[in-house]
Structures are given as structure tokens and as C-alpha cells.
Amino acid sequence: MNDQVIIFDTTLRDGEQALSASLTVKEKLQIAYALERLGVDVIEAGFPISSPGDFESVQAIAKNIKGSRICALARAVEKDIDVAAEALKVAEAFRIHTFISTSTIHVQDKLRRSYDDVVEMAVRSVTRARKYTDDVEFSCEDAGRTPIDNLCRIVEAAIDAGATTVNIPDTVGYTMANEFGGIIATLFNRVPNIDKAVISVHCHDDLGMSVANSMAAVQAGARQVEGTINGIGERAGNCALEEIAMVIRTRGEFLGVNTGLKYDEIHRTSKLVSQLCNMPIQANKAVVGANAFSHSSGIHQDGMLKNKNTYEIMTPESIGLKNQALNLTSRSGRAAVKSHMDTMGYKDTDYDLNTLYDDFLKLADRKGQVFDYDLESLMHFANLRDEDDYFKLNYLSVQSGSVMATTSIKLQCGDEEKCEAAVGNGPVDALYQCIYKLTGYEIALDKFDLTAKGEGEDGLGQADIIANYKGRKYHGTGLATDIVEASGQALLHVINSIHRADQIAEIKQSKRMETV
């Protein structure tokens, strides 16, 4: 049996569907580039029939990503499969992933069909998907709770119809590791054509078992593991791929398997996903938590000083965690900035050096020393910014005390610069009132978070907001040495996205009027 485990990432599909605000196409592309750099074999980019936005992002990812196979999800319905194929057809290599529920509770109470119907729909959808590609994945939703005879029957039928990968999800995270491994072992023993397809697993983490269950399945013969970065996803999330990666890297000899991943990309991929998805990582999270490699107790520290292997089963360097304390200053030239980006592993195509250098100089003037993580943050923020942002903050002045705060701003609104001043119960409140007045947008905030990016006093302030506008949620983020300015940037990020969406809707409307 092949000893390479295929890594299937569904951060942009199963992970994204659980976020409070959807990712933009640009954000999804940034994550897809990071996944490609990490070396994941398959990127599930979305569910194209679910919305025009999802269709557009699957298409953009299919067009731009060459190093990983691009996959899209489709229910076992003809239209879903056709739309998925349409979004994917620009890709160099693509897969259609179709699914239907197979557990008795789902078949009877959700689908309200007979099991014969379900098998027939599975066969029909796999056959249809095979018209577009010879890479078709079929998933038996809620396989973990499906009677084993029914599961064997549908797996055999799907493979006969042409499925090249058959995925066995523990959709509700219900099974125990030996139980789930047993299901996979039974499939290998009882399904006669099982050798014609790769058996995949997709485990959710409701009982905290997803990684253990996936690894038990690998030991039983599964050769594809599905999951998400940082384990984001429905309810308690999906299987965390960085954990699967490091289990296989650390215990590969015991398991007899490997992956094609570039493990030293794990740390920054995880940080990027956390940042763009606005999903902080708990400090004690395995592999990527802030404390995953720190040793607190005196006894442990003593052991580490004598021999690192006493308490360290994997090194921080192996996931790409570098302890660099670069001190670039405003006197550092463009070449120095580029050289530090090279050292951190970024290619010229990952960022625009002119923009990064301008942003670096502004930051260096205000902050003095600029560290590697600052450069990384500047790059991510510049990649999110749109050249055509309509509203830009040109000037900000804040007076704040123990009673009220006053803020005055100059805001670029298209070609015009406008000024406004307001009083509020705090500086952010006063600033937001200025922005609401000048832009004409009044937005309800569901969430407002301030965090420090970077270490100690040298950290930058990062503001993240979730805003609700006409029933749709937007995530806005801002980064600055000043937390009030960062808060303003976060609100402008949201307002620029809304303004852009409004403009697109207006253009579509006037085109419709022209054709009437």
C-alpha cells in the first residue's frame, strides 16, 4: 500500500462556512497561496452553487493556483455538479466532490427518502461528475453513524460508478478512535472493489477526537485525510491539519506513512488563517499555540538546558517558528527589507516591494525598530487593501480625558478631502461618529476586538470588527501603532467593502435597466 497520505484541505469550504463574516475573494486567494506553499495536495476551495461569491472565489483559486489540485463541493444534484465543473474548468488539475447523507437518521428525517434512492442518487452524481473529470470524490455524509452494511453497499456502488476517492466523514464527531478505525478496516475487508479508490476520512471535533480518529483510520488503510488549518469549521471544528502533519512527521516511523507537506510553512500558514478568519488560536493549542514550545516549570527548564529531548518531541524550527529579532530602522534601505523578506521565505511575487517599503518607512518613523513580524503584518494588510479604496484616512487628531473625547479627521472620499469633528464617550466612539457622518454609512457593530500584534511594548495595535449591514456580515481589520487609528482603519475596511458592493450592485442595476 502507498505510504504517502494525501492531505486535503477544506479551510476555505468547511472552515469558511462556520465564520461569522465570509472571507472576500482576495482573502481566500491569500489563504490558497499559503496552502499551496505548505504543499497540501488538494484544496477544497468552496461550494460554487451556494452563492455567486463562492463561485467567483473557486474560479479565482482555480485560475491562480498551480501547485495543488483544486476541488469544489456539490450535493448529489445535477445542477450543483454542473456549476462546480463550470467554476473549476480553468484549473490545471481539478476534482469534483459530491456528497449525500447515508446514516439512517439523515436519510429518513433529513432527506426523507429510501436508502435505494440514496444509492441511486450517489451513482447518478458520480457518473455525471465523471463527464467533466476523471478525479471524482464521493462522500457519505454522517458515515460514522451509518449501518455498516449500508456503508459497504454505497461505497462499492460509488466506486463502480467511477469515484476515485471515497470519503468517510464522521460528520458529527461521534465515534471513538478504535471504532472509526474499525469502520475503515471493515470497508477494506468487505468492499470488493476498494482497491480502485483512495479511502479518505473527514472527522469533526465535537468530542475532541478528530485527530485521533483520523490517525486510527490511516492505520487501518485510509490514505487521504481531510481537515482545516487551526481546526476551524462547523461547531467544534474539523480535524486540525497542522496536528495531522506533525503527528505524521514526528511518529512517521511508527505509522509507516509520510506526507508531501513542507512542515516549516505550518506556523505562518496558521497565523495567516487565524488573522484573516478572525479566529484567535488558544495559547495551549497543539503545534501552533503560543505556548506549544514554551516550558514553564523549573524542572522542565532544567531538563531542557541539559538536553532538549527531555521535554521536546519536535522543534519549533520544524514548523517554521524562528526567533528572529530583526531591527530594521527608517535608515534601512529597500534591499535590507527585501533581504529580510527573503530570509523569512517570502517570494517577490508574495508582495509588492514598493508598497511594503513605503509602509515600512511610515512605521519605522513612528515606532523606531521594525521587527520581522511587523513586516509580515504590513505585507498581509497591504495585500488586503484595495488600490481603489474610496475612503482613506488622511489625518487623525484625538483629545481624550476622563470625561469625554474629541476627534477630528480628514477623510479622502474619492477625489475630495472632507473634514469632520465629533465628541464621543471615548476616542473610538468620537472617531466612528466622524466616519459615519462623512461616509453616510451608519453600521451596527456585532463585535469589536483590540489585540496586540507583536511582542511587549513593541507590538502594534490590531482592531478587528464584525459589522452588520443590510443583513450581511463584514469583517474589518486595522493595524497601527495607535489603537484609535487601527480602529478607524478597521471601520473603513468594512465601509470600503460595502461601498464597493453597492457600486457593483448599481452597475448591474443600470445594465438591467438598459436592456429593458
Write out the binding residues.
Answer: 14, 202, 204, 238
- Tell me the C-alpha distance between 212 and 220, whole Å: 12
Q: Residue 278 gets which letter from DSSP?
A: T
- Binding-site residue ranges for Mn(2+): 14, 202, 204, 238
- Does 169 help bind ligand KIV (rule: CB under 6 A)? yes
- Does 141 help bind ligand KIV (rule: CB under 6 A)? yes
C-beta of 10: minimal distance to ligand KIV in Å?
7
By a kind-dependent CB cut-off of 5 to 8 A, residue 141 interacts, out of Zn ion, ligand KIV, none, with ligand KIV
**Which of these segments, 145-153, 163-171, 184-192, 341-349, binds ligand KIV (CB under 6 A)?**
163-171
Q: Closest CB to Zn ion among 143 and 486?
A: 143
By a kind-dependent CB cut-off of 5 to 8 A, residue 139 interacts, out of ligand KIV, Zn ion, none, with ligand KIV
By a kind-dependent CB cut-off of 5 to 8 A, residue 46 interacts, out of ligand KIV, Zn ion, none, with none
Q: Closest CB to Zn ion among 14 and 458?
A: 14
C-beta of 228: minimal distance to ligand KIV in Å?
10
β strands within 343-415, DSSP E: 391-400, 405-413
CA atoms 346, 350, 351, 353: torsion sign: positive
Q: Binding residues for Zn ion, per CB under 5 A? A: 14
C-beta of 89: minimal distance to ligand KIV in Å?
22
Q: Residue type for 133, please? A: T
- Does 99 help bind ligand KIV (rule: CB under 6 A)? yes
| Per-position DSSP letters for 414-448, written without gaps between them | TTEEEEEEEEESSHHHHHHHHHHHHH----EEEEE
- Tell me the C-alpha distance between 216 and 211, whole Å: 9
Unique residue bearing C-alpha cell 469632520: 420
Q: HEC string of 169-203?
A: EECCCCCCHHHHHHHHHHHHHHCCCHHHCEEEEEE
Q: Closest CB to ligand KIV among 148 and 505?
A: 148
**Which of these segments, 76-84, 167-175, 404-412, 423-431, binds ligand KIV (CB under 6 A)?**
167-175
Q: C-alpha angle with apex 69: 242 to 10, nearest 5 degrees?
A: 40
**Given candidates 11, 57, 103, 171, which one binds ligand KIV under the rule CB under 6 A?**
171
- Tell me the C-alpha distance between 467 and 490, whole Å: 10
- Tell me the C-alpha distance between 391 and 417, whole Å: 9
- Tell me the C-alpha distance between 263 and 437, whole Å: 49
C-beta of 167: minimal distance to ligand KIV in Å?
6
Contacts with ligand KIV by CB under 6 A: the residue count is: 9
Q: Closest CB to ligand KIV among 95 and 204?
A: 204
- Does 16 help bind ligand KIV (rule: CB under 6 A)? no
- Does 14 help bind ligand KIV (rule: CB under 6 A)? yes
Q: Residues near 401 by Cβ (< 8 Å), separated by ≥ 6?
A: none
Which residues contact ligand KIV (rule: CB under 6 A)? Answer: 14, 99, 139, 141, 167, 169, 171, 202, 204
